[in-house]
Homo-oligomer: A and B are copies of this chain.
Amino acid sequence: MTYAAPLCDMIFALEEIAGINEIAALPGYGEATPDVVQSILEEAGKFAAGILAPLNRIGDEQGSGLENGVVRTPEGFRDAYAKFVAGGWNSLQFDPAHGGQGLPWALAAMIQEMVTSACMSFSLCPLLTQGAVELLTSHGSVAQKQTYLRKLVSGEWSGTMNLTEPQAGSDVGALRTRAVREGERYRITGQKIFITYGEHDMAENIVHMVLARTPDAPPGVKGISLFIVPKFLVGAGGALGARNDLRCVAIEQKMGIHGSPTAVMAYGDSGGAIGELVGEENRGIEYMFTMMNSARLSVGIEGLAIAERAYQQARDYAKGRIQGRAADSASPVPIIRHPDVRRMLMTMRAQIEAMRAMVAFVAGAVDRSKRHPDAAERARHQAMVDLLTPVTKAWCTDTGCAVTSMAVQVHGGLGFIESTGAAQHFRDARIAPIYEGTNGIQAIDLVSRKVARDEGTGMRSLIDAMSRTVEAAKHGTDADRLTTPLSDAVAALSRATESLVATMTRDRAGTLAVATPYLALVGTVVGGWLLAKSALDARRRHAAADAGGYFAAREGIARFYAANLLPHAGALSRVVMDGGPSTMALAEDQF
């Protein structure tokens, strides 16, 4: 159950896919030289493996517990968090103006993967803080930034996101928490559920970002405002003051991520919690959306990270477990030699590398969208981030679940026994397709906002980029096994996209009914494209110096993906084109 950060694969993803050297040439990213990137990855790898990974099992077994309003995190979490903060791991990608290190998001994404692989339930605390930092950086007043940002960036304080209420889940517009103005501040009253790290013992203060409704607000999402509601009020000079009127009333008993306290939060039981308005009233949803992309990308990274952890364990087991004979051996062999086990490991490996490629590609686009000197380029990269963020969130988390399930299977009966650890990954991974917008919501976002709204223009330009890879590869040697399936898959995506754009106005329900297969199609094809492209590029660049056959292996993995996973693109494309109408065939009472 150990973990080792996959440094080579991360450097490959950063160099060949994110284009970290190009990113380092952007204004403000000059520090991200190859040496610095390498040494940060190495140090982070040591921290993740040495400090965080040992907490994973403890976190699962002990869970976080609530006693008299106080949440106690599992043994070791508090100490590890202190080291996490002291080591500067919370602040990598944030603005130096607020104490951040101003490093590229692409690099931070790899560190986030490591932290999450090592201990997913721990990783959620900094993840939520990241959301608060982004919100305040974009929309906080000067005073709010001064009061809150430095401590949130360092991680001395943590942040939370308070959206959900019992009657307001995917439909956040249905929320009822009230905010009543009282001079410069507001009194907040209401109950929020599913608040990750809503209460805990790792940080001095917890800065809750709370969506609420003022008395005269219009109904629905247009009447929601965003408030800063700190656990302890903050005085002049940043001193912690009185306890605010908010408390954790329950911790959920969940299937996984037991170490992460999922709180039911009560605001204002004794007259109203004190909150500060962020920006203007009724614009809370708009502000929330500014951090949505990165939060969703981060949840996509969770799918990748838990898959990597599960894979490493399954691989080690498959190399060590002696069982049965192979065709070419008289004595028992490690099960990695059995073709069906090898197929599982190759599938896991190919899917992991495709996920990491997608994460690196999108995170690299985030960096360009923030720092490219040319406004048109920034806009172009932002459009790519917008297009692929729902895909990264949903495809990587669904794939993460599939990989953790395969890892259980590789262990046979032991996979079902909790002490083995494989089951924990399977349970932990299952939350990621649900939170931060269910994967169904991601698919609807992709289809309606990202593809149909511009009538397929953005997706077509991505398809063009993929077609260029196919064209270029055709002139390589022995590339058929890669390019034919990729070419077929890109064509299938193109057909499905045109069909979708055409049906969306005519049959909205029937089109949304195939949103999920469409998203799976995009994920499958983009993953295969990035694997093929990076493998072919790498071969060109490194053919002369491929120590240990590392780059040849990348091509082997891309070929496996092309032959074993890309064919599903054709099927998904058919489903997108034909599957919608029959979805609505039964009446409700026939279910």
Contacts of A375 in B (CB 8 A): none
In the complex, the chain B residue whose C-beta lies closest to that of A444 is B340
Most buried by B among A345, A409, A426, A580: A409
Is B343 a contact of A583 with CB atoms below 8 Å?
yes
Is A336 a contact of B582 with CB atoms below 8 Å?
no
Is A412 a contact of B515 with CB atoms below 8 Å?
no
Within A535-578, the residues touching B (CB, 8 Å) are: 549, 553, 556-557, 559-560, 562-564, 567-572, 574-575, 578
Contacts of A164 in B (CB 8 A): 413
Is B513 a contact of A586 with CB atoms below 8 Å?
no
With A332-B174, A339-B513, A513-B343 known as contacts, the answer to whether A591 contacts B349 (CB < 8 A) is yes
Contact of A588 among B193, B319, B439, B568 (CB under 8 A): B319
A479 within 8 A of B: no
Interface residues on A, range: 35 or more
Contacts of A430 in B (CB 8 A): 405, 408, 416, 423, 426
CA distance A327 to B579 in the complex (A): 19
Is A439 a contact of B582 with CB atoms below 8 Å?
no
In the complex, the chain B residue whose C-beta lies closest to that of A408 is B430
Within A230-283, the residues touching B (CB, 8 Å) are: 252-256
In the complex, the chain B residue whose C-beta lies closest to that of A417 is B252
Q: Taking the full assembly, how many copies of this chain does it contain?
A: 2
Is A438 a contact of B417 with CB atoms below 8 Å?
no
- Shortest beta-carbon distance from A224 to chain B in Å: 15
Is A345 a contact of B591 with CB atoms below 8 Å?
yes
Is A346 a contact of B583 with CB atoms below 8 Å?
yes
- Shortest beta-carbon distance from A58 to chain B in Å: 15
Is A563 a contact of B590 with CB atoms below 8 Å?
no
Contacts of A586 in B (CB 8 A): 346, 349, 553, 556-557
- Chain A's interface: helix, strand, loop or mixed, by majority? helix
Is B564 a contact of A575 with CB atoms below 8 Å?
yes
Contacts of A559 in B (CB 8 A): 582, 585
CA distance A514 to B567 in the complex (A): 14
Mask, A329-362, CB within 8 Å of B = 1, is: 0001010111111111110010000000000000
- Shortest beta-carbon distance from A166 to chain B in Å: 10
Contact of A582 among B170, B427, B564, B579 (CB under 8 A): B564
Is B570 a contact of A556 with CB atoms below 8 Å?
no
Contacts of A418 in B (CB 8 A): 253-255
A128 within 8 A of B: no
With A340-B513, A433-B409, A513-B340 known as contacts, the answer to whether A575 contacts B563 (CB < 8 A) is yes
A43 within 8 A of B: no
A419 within 8 A of B: yes
- Shortest beta-carbon distance from A298 to chain B in Å: 18
In the complex, the chain B residue whose C-beta lies closest to that of A171 is B324
CA distance A427 to B404 in the complex (A): 13
Is B440 a contact of A416 with CB atoms below 8 Å?
no
Is B481 a contact of A439 with CB atoms below 8 Å?
no
The 10 closest A-B pairs by CB, nearest first: A556-B585, A339-B513, A567-B574, A340-B440, A255-B423, A571-B571, A339-B512, A560-B582, A567-B571, A171-B324
